[in-house]
A and B are shown apart, each in its own frame.
Chain A
Amino acid sequence: MIKNSTFQDHHYNILLIACLACLIVFLPLSAAQASSGSSGSGHDTHSGGHKAPAKGHDTHAAKGHTTDGHATQGDHQSGAFDMGETVMHHLVNIETHELPILNKTSHGWAWKEIPVDGLKFSVGGIDMTVNKPVIFMMLGGFILLFVFIINFRGGKLMRNRLAHILEVYVLFIRDEVVYPNLGEEDGRKFLPLFLTFFFFILILNLSGLIPFGYSASANINVTAGLAIVALLVIQGAGIAKFGFFTHFRSALVPSGLPWPLLFIMIPIEFVGIVAKPFALCIRLFANLVAGHAALIVLLLLIIVGKSFIIAPFPMVGILFISTMELFVAHLQAFIFTILTTLFVSLTLHPSH
């Protein structure tokens, strides 16, 4: 562990230059990958998504050579490069993953693409295949465990850079999110859960921003799982505090209403109970997907433009959107945590 921090300002400059260099080198290559397609992965389930753009690119190249670029109309007629298909493939592909290894395909250089859903099994008819989101969730979980275990040994915080960053996050969640909403007594019980929510979602979001990473929270099943945990916690907190019947009476039946209205109000309140976690799930998922879709569309502009001359302009856009994604990754983790905290607080302190 680093005891004395000697991280000077000029190191940040070097880091920034290195990041920019990575960006400039890697991103056009990944854009080229988007059009060139993969070979030999042996997966036919996604071939409709992946092979079609590759074929289209081929036909375009052939036509461009033969007719000197006069074939643009014909290209659109035969669906040469299907941008929507490529974007959808990149957003929903959970079967293969790109590695930072270049190999030569029939369409040119491309990143090596390996299948990652090798461990197929199902429990009681439910598909439990270990695929890309699962692998990245496990990775994120292990990284979190590792980071926290090495930095909080023997109940004491280590004195290094990483531990100080973690301390800032933890104190922020404790003092700005959990304690003001739940109070110190209840907050202390729920704090580990909310910290886990925050750090897990944060690391899932951030892992999509590193090169060759993948954001597991851009998959709706992952966010749905998190939201189901939130639903169980919100309702379980009420059940644990008030008991089953008292909790659901106060949650479902508003007091002081004439009884015929209850036929309307009870379904509405029930929908409200389910809608809160549903909104949590959709919000996290849609924010991540929207960011990734914006990045991919900007990258594909290079291919649609059919020229490397326009490449710098999407690059600048991607730089800005990536920076915004860095903010969104933190913001969405924070929003998920604070909304769950607020919902638990509403359950624990009913207004009537």
Chain B
Amino acid sequence: MLAFLAELGANAYAHLSAGIGAGLVTIGAGLGIGRIGGSAMEGIARQPEAAAKIQTAMLISAALIEGIALLSAVVCLLLNLKA
């Protein structure tokens, strides 16, 4: 497959890496945000009166993960568009 890519030109590797990177970013962010959401659901189900506080904390943690994920997504986008 690498020989095939080499025939396509040097930029093909950049596009390939951008695609693989975007997939990895999705896996990581999905795992992280999924865990946060799941735990928040559980917490709210156990203690519905604390829902507002849990939601705020959930949003903050999700935003922290999302920030890293989007940074990587931007890197992938630049790899794809500028390569």
Chain A contact residues, CB within 8 Å of chain B: 84-85, 87-88, 176, 279, 282-283, 285-287, 289-290, 293, 331, 334-335, 338-339, 342
Candidates A88, A287, A331; contact of B70 at CB < 8 Å: A287
Chain B contact residues, CB within 8 Å of chain A: 52, 56, 59-60, 63-64, 66-68, 70-71, 73-74, 77, 80-82
In the bound complex, do residue B77 and residue A293 qualify as a contact, i.e. CB atoms below 8 Å apart? yes
Chain B residue contacts of A293, Cβ below 8 A: 77
Closest B residue to A342 by CB, please name it.
B60
Closest A residue to B60 by CB, please name it.
A338
Most A Cβ at <10 Å: residue of B67, B73, B80: B67
Task: Provide the bound-state CA to CA distance between A84 and B74, in Å.
Answer: 13
Task: Provide the bound-state CA to CA distance between A84 and B81, in Å.
Answer: 6
In the bound complex, do residue B81 and residue A279 qualify as a contact, i.e. CB atoms below 8 Å apart? no
Q: Which 9 A-B pairs have the closest CB atoms?
A: A286-B70, A283-B67, A335-B63, A84-B81, A282-B71, A286-B74, A279-B67, A88-B81, A290-B70
Task: Provide the bound-state CA to CA distance between A335 and B67, in Å.
Answer: 11
In the bound complex, do residue B67 and residue A282 qualify as a contact, i.e. CB atoms below 8 Å apart? yes
CB within 8 Å for A339 and B60 given contacts A282-B67, A286-B74: yes
In the bound complex, do residue B59 and residue A334 qualify as a contact, i.e. CB atoms below 8 Å apart? yes
Closest B residue to A281 by CB, please name it.
B67
In the assembled complex, the CB of A346 is this many whole angstroms from the nearest CB of chain B, namely: 13
Chain A residue contacts of B66, Cβ below 8 A: 283, 287
Task: Provide the bound-state CA to CA distance between A287 and B71, in Å.
Answer: 9
In the bound complex, do residue A335 and residue B59 qualify as a contact, i.e. CB atoms below 8 Å apart? yes
Closest A residue to B83 by CB, please name it.
A84
Chain B residue contacts of A88, Cβ below 8 A: 81-82
In the assembled complex, the CB of A225 is this many whole angstroms from the nearest CB of chain B, namely: 18
In the bound complex, do residue B67 and residue A286 qualify as a contact, i.e. CB atoms below 8 Å apart? yes
In the bound complex, do residue B81 and residue A289 qualify as a contact, i.e. CB atoms below 8 Å apart? no
Closest B residue to A88 by CB, please name it.
B81
In the assembled complex, the CB of A278 is this many whole angstroms from the nearest CB of chain B, namely: 9
Task: Provide the bound-state CA to CA distance between A85 and B80, in Å.
Answer: 11
In the bound complex, do residue B73 and residue A331 qualify as a contact, i.e. CB atoms below 8 Å apart? no
Task: Provide the bound-state CA to CA distance between A338 and B74, in Å.
Answer: 24
In the bound complex, do residue A87 and residue B60 qualify as a contact, i.e. CB atoms below 8 Å apart? no
Chain B residue contacts of A334, Cβ below 8 A: 59
Task: Provide the bound-state CA to CA distance between A299 and B59, in Å.
Answer: 30
Chain A residue contacts of B60, Cβ below 8 A: 335, 338-339, 342
In the assembled complex, the CB of B81 is this many whole angstroms from the nearest CB of chain A, namely: 4
Task: Provide the bound-state CA to CA distance between A88 and B70, in Å.
Answer: 17
In the assembled complex, the CB of B45 is this many whole angstroms from the nearest CB of chain A, namely: 22
Task: Provide the bound-state CA to CA distance between A278 and B46, in Å.
Answer: 36
Closest A residue to B67 by CB, please name it.
A283
In the assembled complex, the CB of A267 is this many whole angstroms from the nearest CB of chain B, namely: 21
In the assembled complex, the CB of A111 is this many whole angstroms from the nearest CB of chain B, namely: 24
Chain A residue contacts of B81, Cβ below 8 A: 84-85, 87-88
In the bound complex, do residue A286 and residue B59 qualify as a contact, i.e. CB atoms below 8 Å apart? no
7 further interface pairs, Cβ-Cβ under 8 Å (given A279-B64, A282-B67): A84-B80, A84-B81, A88-B82, A282-B70, A282-B71, A283-B70, A338-B56
Chain B residue contacts of A283, Cβ below 8 A: 63, 66-67, 70-71
Closest B residue to A286 by CB, please name it.
B70
Task: Provide the bound-state CA to CA distance between A339 and B64, in Å.
Answer: 9
Task: Provide the bound-state CA to CA distance between A176 and B52, in Å.
Answer: 9
Closest A residue to B52 by CB, please name it.
A176
CB within 8 Å for A176 and B56 given contacts A84-B81, A286-B67, A287-B66: yes
Chain A residue contacts of B52, Cβ below 8 A: 176
Task: Provide the bound-state CA to CA distance between A278 and B68, in Å.
Answer: 11
Task: Provide the bound-state CA to CA distance between A74 and B26, in Å.
Answer: 34
List 8 contacting pairs A-B, 8 Å CB cutoff, sorted by A: A84-B80, A176-B52, A279-B67, A286-B67, A286-B71, A289-B74, A290-B73, A339-B63
Most B Cβ at <10 Å: residue of A84, A85, A283, A334: A283
In the bound complex, do residue A331 and residue B71 qualify as a contact, i.e. CB atoms below 8 Å apart? no
